[in-house]
Structure 1
């Protein structure tokens, strides 16, 4: 998985998977991607970066269940307005964390960091189960499922996550 350079075949597979055959009209464009990156102090990982610039900035078709949200947007069930989000602070996890049902109350600062630091939200499967793409920290380029109960990494990055969805394979056994 390369998060610095995009393979044209990977980008074509992403385009086919989400049905983005509008010639890039739904894409954000490179000036829009560069403006987002400058505003937030990050460089998005490939192939997501090229996907939103050249293919589509969001998709109602999916993935996930309720579609991809546009770059920087949050699903309607996110639970906050996103004002605490900081993409320059590293995403705090490198392994799964199930905080619901834990006997100890989770550290509030760490919990806030899981939701707000170092990741963009890709979309939702509903009920607060949101998919994030890590943009800062050791898991940069990896996709994570974060819900009200816990967080777990997906097997790889954006392209593998989309391919699994397009093939109709479940996500829950991919960690």
Structure 2
């Protein structure tokens, strides 16, 4: 795929202000190696974006920059379980575990799966609010906001926002200067 002829990739390039002729990109061999190591295939157009445009950027969403595909936020913590990208992301609808009445011994394993299965972390808006791109499971290709209180998918069809779902919709929403949760 050529970033110069694909309209979504042109919008992504513009949003992230990448002007290094792809030098900050992971490259296709790097993408293939990452995918093989984790037993996944990254969703398009994010896959081509990290291969040909950039693998992380201080410009663009989220507030503290877009992480490289293999990076984790500084505040992620060293005591988390091993991330299993090939394990399916477990959610298909929003979940506020802060309001869940089940006992903590039932919730804890589910929380580990939400944070560590089937997604890559795109970055953070601070205060423990992480943006994930789901790479396996029924919500593959969707963006989720996961925080200490709960998790919700990004996209107009899920409520909370007027933005389109997926990586391109998420980036376009940010580039338009709209708040993340702008639905009335």
Fold in common (TM above 0.5): yes
**1:19-62 Cα deviation digits (max 9, x unpaired):** 01211011110000000000000000001000000000000113
Corresponding residue pairs, total: 169
**Is the contact made by 2:25 and 2:50 (CA closer than 8 Å) also made in structure 1?**
yes
**Is the contact made by 1:133 and 1:142 (CA closer than 8 Å) also made in structure 2?**
yes
Which residue of structure 2 lines up, in the alignment, with residue 164 of structure 1? 173
Which range moved further: 102-111 or 118-127?
102-111
Cα RMSD between the aligned structures?
A: 1.6
Which residue of structure 2 lines up, in the alignment, with residue 3 of structure 1? none
Greater fraction of residues in helix = 2
Which residue of structure 2 lines up, in the alignment, with residue 153 of structure 1? 153
1:58 aligns with 2:67: no
1:20 aligns with 2:31: no
1:69 aligns with 2:67: yes
Structure 2 Cα separation of the partners of residues 149 and 105 of structure 1: 16
**Is the contact made by 1:77 and 1:127 (CA closer than 8 Å) also made in structure 2?**
no
Structure 1 stretches of 4+ with a deviation exceeding 3 A read: 80-83, 101-106
**Is the contact made by 1:10 and 1:159 (CA closer than 8 Å) also made in structure 2?**
yes
1:110 aligns with 2:110: yes
Which range moved further: 119-128 or 80-89?
80-89
User: SS where residue 115 of structure 2 aligns?
Assistant: helix
Q: What runs of 5+ residues in structure 1 fail to find an aligned partner? A: 1-5
Normalization by structure 2: what TM-score?
0.87
Max radius of gyration: which structure? 2
Structure 2 Cα separation of the partners of residues 46 and 70 of structure 1: 16
User: SS where residue 122 of structure 1 aligns?
Assistant: strand
Normalization by structure 1: what TM-score?
0.91
